[in-house]
Amino acid sequence: MTSSQAPSFHAWAVAGIPEVREGDELAKLIVAAEPALADGDVLLVTSKIVSKAEGRIVRADDREAAIDAETVRVVARRGTLRIVENKLGLVMAAAGVDASNTPAGTVLLLPEDPDASAAAIRDGVRDALGVEVGVVITDTFGRPWRNGLTDVAIGAAGVRVLDDLRGGVDAYGNPLSATVVATADELAAAGDLVKGKAGGLPVAVVRGLGESLVREQAGSARELVRGARDDMFRLGTSEAVREAMTQRRTVRAFTDEAVDPGAVRRAVAAAVTAPAPHHTTPWRFVLLESEAARGRLLDAMREAWVADLRRDGKSEESIAKRVRRGDVLRNAPYLVVPCLVMDGSHTYGDARRDAAEREMFVVAAGAGVQNFLVALAGERLGSAWVSSTMFCRDVVRDVLELPEGWDPMGAVAVGHAAAAPAERPARIVSEFIEVR
């Protein structure tokens, strides 16, 4: 391929756009400044002027309060800097709330619907000039693992935002199995090279990409936002711990999706870092990965439970209802039986001190299980810790062929939650604290 045939494009900033005020029609301002727009051009429009035109300037003597109002969740925090997810699903510093280039005592919020804003500009250019352009609304982002800022797309119309190359091959014939190019972000960055950050040039044009990029029916910038299920880096380090602890819920209904045994083993690795007395390791975790093993245990436990209920004089109807309510373990695709071992414990020959010694080990076992549950939440796995094995320890030891010294401490049902857990009422921390 000769140099004249090589792909190329031309990018330039649009001069002459006046200070934008609420109610201005951006398409008219852009067309007046750049009347020679052509089919296939892509407009890169800084979100700041979109926000101004749409009246997204608000009084906010306290910028932090404005950030709070736009924040869905805090992703990471260091000092006064907050990386948050905002109402648009974008993860960015300060929720996109901007206090620069806006009157004192005010802040600028991002457009409420950047895709709709892009579509309005595109329609306005078509009405004025009779040409089909693509429009990308851009904003400035920092990035994990990379220094410096770059512009990315937060809104788009008439532009292919993602170029999915999966299923094709590279120049050597190797299959492409994971390559999806963020075309709209690349356009945003190209536009920023000519607009600059301090030049007062809020719009750029990219020409030359044409039909390969600009289309009547194209994607939305929301396609660029990775969903929670696929986001491997959803939280900062300390935030991940807090999120896993505060968002952990007891899950009683699971999907049929298989549980990754590696995820459970990683959770066990977290469990065995819990504190324990006398430098002991009082935890053992029995992983019931086969359906047959789970069935044998649960059938034996059910028989023992029914026998206990009959000894208590419960009616057969009452027993049947209780057994049905207890089926959370049977409905889970994976079970774990945490066990307490007293290896390394001290014997004092005094009932009070020996009881306290066992309590220390039981507390350590509970700490290990709590670590386990939190780690499962961090793996996006639901769990339910139920006490049933503690009421028939001999049965459990016999079925699972456990040593006599292993005391089952309940059972943990593990799986993918069938539905989002119900909201838990906020607990007022001060009600759980006494200060002396």
Give the pLDDT mean for 237-265.
Answer: 82
pLDDT, greater one: 324 or 17? 17
Q: Do 211 and 181 belong to one domain?
A: yes
**Which CATH number goes with the domain that contains 394?**
3.40.109.10
Could you tell me if residue 396 is inside a domain? Answer: yes
Q: Do 223 and 244 belong to one domain?
A: no
Q: Do 165 and 45 belong to one domain?
A: yes
Dihedrals phi, psi of 141, to nearest 5 degrees: -125, 145
Strands (E), 361-423: 382-386, 407-408, 411-415
With CA atoms as reference, report the closest residue to 187 among 225, 158, 165: 158
Model confidence at 411: pLDDT above 60? yes
Domain boundary among 199, 230, 261: 230
Residue 19, C-beta contacts closer than 8 angstroms, at least 6 positions apart:
none
Domain boundary among 195, 230, 265: 230
Q: Do 192 and 252 belong to one domain?
A: no
What is the average pLDDT score of the chain? 89
Q: Please identify which residue in the block is written with the tokens 């080990």.
A: 361
The residue count of the chain comes to: 436
Regarding beta strands 382-386 and 71-78, do their DSSP bridges make them parallel or antiparallel, or are they unpaired?
unpaired
Q: Do 16 and 124 belong to one domain?
A: yes
Q: H/E element holding 46?
A: strand 42-46
Pairwise CA distance, residues 136 & 139, whole Å:
10
| pLDDT above 90 as % of the chain | 60
Model confidence at 113: pLDDT above 90? yes
Q: H/E element holding 107?
A: strand 106-108
Going by pLDDT thresholds of 50, 70 and 90, the confidence category of residue 2 is very low
Model confidence at 245: pLDDT above 80? no
Q: Do 247 and 180 belong to one domain?
A: no
Going by pLDDT thresholds of 50, 70 and 90, the confidence category of residue 212 is low
The pLDDT of residue 24: 96
Q: Taking the CB of residue 33, how many other CB atoms lie within 10 A of it?
A: 13
Domain boundary among 204, 230, 256: 230
Q: Taking the CB of residue 31, how many other CB atoms lie within 10 A of it?
A: 19
Q: Do 353 and 225 belong to one domain?
A: no
pLDDT, one tens digit per residue, over 155-168 is: 999 998 888 787 78
pLDDT, one tens digit per residue, over 91-105 is: 998 899 988 777 888
| pLDDT above 70 as % of the chain | 93
Work out the burial of residue 354: count CB atoms within 10 Å of its CB; fewer than 13 is exposed, 13-18 middle, 19 or more buried. Answer: middle
Could you tell me if residue 172 is inside a domain? Answer: yes
With CA atoms as reference, report the closest residue to 393 among 328, 313, 304: 304
Model confidence at 25: pLDDT above 90? yes
Could you tell me if residue 74 is inside a domain? Answer: no
Q: Do 337 and 406 belong to one domain?
A: yes
- The model's pTM: 0.63
Q: Do 381 and 267 belong to one domain?
A: yes
Pairwise CA distance, residues 304 & 398, whole Å:
12
Rg over CA atoms, the chain? 30
Give residue 66's Cα distance to chain centre.
23
Residue 24, C-beta contacts closer than 8 angstroms, at least 6 positions apart:
52, 53
Q: Do 309 and 343 belong to one domain?
A: yes
Going by pLDDT thresholds of 50, 70 and 90, the confidence category of residue 215 is low
pLDDT, one tens digit per residue, over 265-287 is: 999 999 999 999 999 999 999 99
Sign of the C-alpha dihedral computed for residues 60, 225, 80 and 143 taken in this order: negative
Model confidence at 4: pLDDT above 60? no
Model confidence at 179: pLDDT above 90? no
**Domain count of the chain?**
2
**Which CATH number goes with the domain that contains 40?**
3.30.1330.100
Q: Do 313 and 402 belong to one domain?
A: yes
CA atoms within 13 A on the CB side of 121: 33
CA atoms within 13 A on the CB side of 209: 22
- Provide the domain limits for residue 399: 239-432
Q: What string of H, E and C letters represents the secondary structure of 346-363?
A: CCCCCHHHHHHHHHHHHH
Pairwise CA distance, residues 134 & 214, whole Å:
5
The pLDDT of residue 237: 63
Model confidence at 344: pLDDT above 90? yes
